[in-house]
Structure 1
Amino acid sequence: MNREIKFRGKSVLNDEWIYGDLVHRTNSPKTISPVQINGIGIKEDTVGQFTGLFDKNGKEIFEGDIIKGFDITVEVWYSEDNACFIAEMKEPQNDMVDILGGYDTARMEIIGNIYDHPELIKEE
């Protein structure tokens, strides 16, 4: 089974989400974004990788997505230390961090992402 590797990021031109192959050009001119998806300059801090998982609506789950289900809301991110995608709950009195693959994401729903909807993650 092949794992699909793709990324998303916000365009430097119009703030729209771009999906596809990621290229990081170390020798690009200062006038061109060094991070590109499908040849389009991307805001580097918005780049997220597809986790390989889908929500209950069949939507692809990316790093930075906020998903909800089973009375919890979690933020998805990649852990360099553990080399896996993480689901982190950021609600008062419950700061749980767990491996995303341990969740039944097919019964959860993407409700936004940390870039467009940071208010969806409650912080103390």
Structure 2
Amino acid sequence: TYIRHDSKDQFTGLLDKNGVEIYEGDIVKDADSGSYGAVVWSNDKHWGYLFDTRPDYGWSHPVKGFQRNYLEVTGNIHETLLEADNAKT
């Protein structure tokens, strides 16, 4: 899957299980749980993936070195939102 990143997407310095660069705003799949999340910078000062974006409910799971073997980049929140907007018209 090719994902176009623009200048507002920050590279995390991490690669997924396929060697794809992980950027802030990417949507990743956790191979262990099958869950999807968006990559965010956590208030705890680490890269994580957020499973639910509602502030009163969501939580961020830190991305650590060994966990990268279980993550796969499947999309980007910017492209997904754009596709949803285009589908409405």
Task: Give the TM-score of the pair, scaled to structure 1.
Answer: 0.49
1:82 correspondence with 2:52: no
Q: Which has the higher contact order (CA 8 A, sep 6+)?
A: 2
1:65 correspondence with 2:26: yes
Q: In terms of Rg, which structure is larger?
A: 1
- Equivalent residue runs for 1:104-115 within 5 Å: 104-115=67-78
Amino acid paired to 2:72? E
- Equivalent residue runs for 1:16-31 within 5 Å: 17-18=5-6
Q: Distance in 1 between matches of 2:65 and 2:17?
A: 15
| SS of match in other structure, 2:64 | helix
Decide which structure has greater helix share.
2
Percent of aligned pairs sharing the same letter: 32
Structure 1 unaligned runs (5+)? 1-15, 19-41, 120-124
Cα separation, partners in 2 of 1:52 and 1:77, compared to 1, 3 Å: same
Decide which structure has greater strand share.
1
Offset from partner CA, 1:23-63 (integer Å, 9 cap, x none): xxxxxxxxxxxxxxxxxxx5xxxx12111111111000010
| SS of match in other structure, 2:78 | coil
Task: Give the TM-score of the pair, scaled to structure 2.
Answer: 0.65
What displacement does 1:114 show? 0.4
What displacement does 1:107 show? 2.4
Structure 2 unaligned runs (5+)? 84-89
